[in-house]
Amino acid sequence: MTTVPEAGDRWFRRYVPEAREAPVRLVCLPHAGGAASYFFPFAQAVGERVDVLATQYPGRQDRRQEPCIDDVGALADAAFAALRPFLDRPVALFGHSMGATLGFELARRIEAAPGATLVRLFASGRRAPSRAGGELVHTFEDDRLLAEVARLSGTDTRVLADDELMRAALPAIRADYKAAESYRLVGEAALDCPITALAGDADPKTSPDDVRAWERHTTGGFDLHVYPGGHFFPAEHRQRIVDLITEQLAAHTARR
């Protein structure tokens, strides 16, 4: 059963009961055009080892009547305001594609918040912030934009086949692509927390070398994991990635 944590208002979903004894809370951030439900099987696989919150951006699913946010900084500000009540225990972030860029900006805000503890950022399928720029997919006309979404295979094939559903999702898809593609890093920002970067070896959007460049954005340690597959490799290697996340978060807990 899906629940909306009271303190999280519309921003967060739980797909398993709250893991009250878990020492770390993991906040998951979807890709461009994605929704919190992308992390349903992920939360199921994690179980009670980590308390998992999936982020629901405005403009999709049950928030479809709300205006989309097409700027990463503004999205990070709004998400951080909603996340504040959940910073009562150490937090880690997992973001895929656009969600990784958003995770980086959200991480900067968490590290600046008094009393908050950021354990680690997991950046998946996205070039490092210092290598952002150059894409213009958000300017494509509708059919070409939908073809790009289909090419990356990040959407359920049943949804892809439903033209009405896909066109209804276009405003959120376009806004997210604009946010991701217009993002520019300000300054030479580096996080204090470690960064674990994940890449697909055949990702047409992001090369492992571009993902490896996340190393320059942390003073707290870095590791890179490359998996077989394209842009949505996490779906093919879900259990391996869940095991990696829980092992790294458990190691942090053991050191405390």
Which residues are catalytic, by number?
A: 97, 231
Between CA 14 and CA 131 the distance in angstroms is 33
Alpha carbon distance 229, 251 (integer Å): 28
Residues 6+ apart with CB under 8 A from 155: 33, 149, 166
Q: Which residues, 6 or more positions from 148, have their beta carbon under 8 angstroms from its beta carbon?
A: 137, 140
78: part of which helix (H) or strand (E)? helix 72-83
- Rg of the chain over CA atoms, in angstroms? 17
Nearest to 55 by CA among 1, 99, 105: 99
Handedness of CA 184, 132, 233, 141 (dihedral sign): positive
Classify 37 as helix, strand or coil. Answer: helix
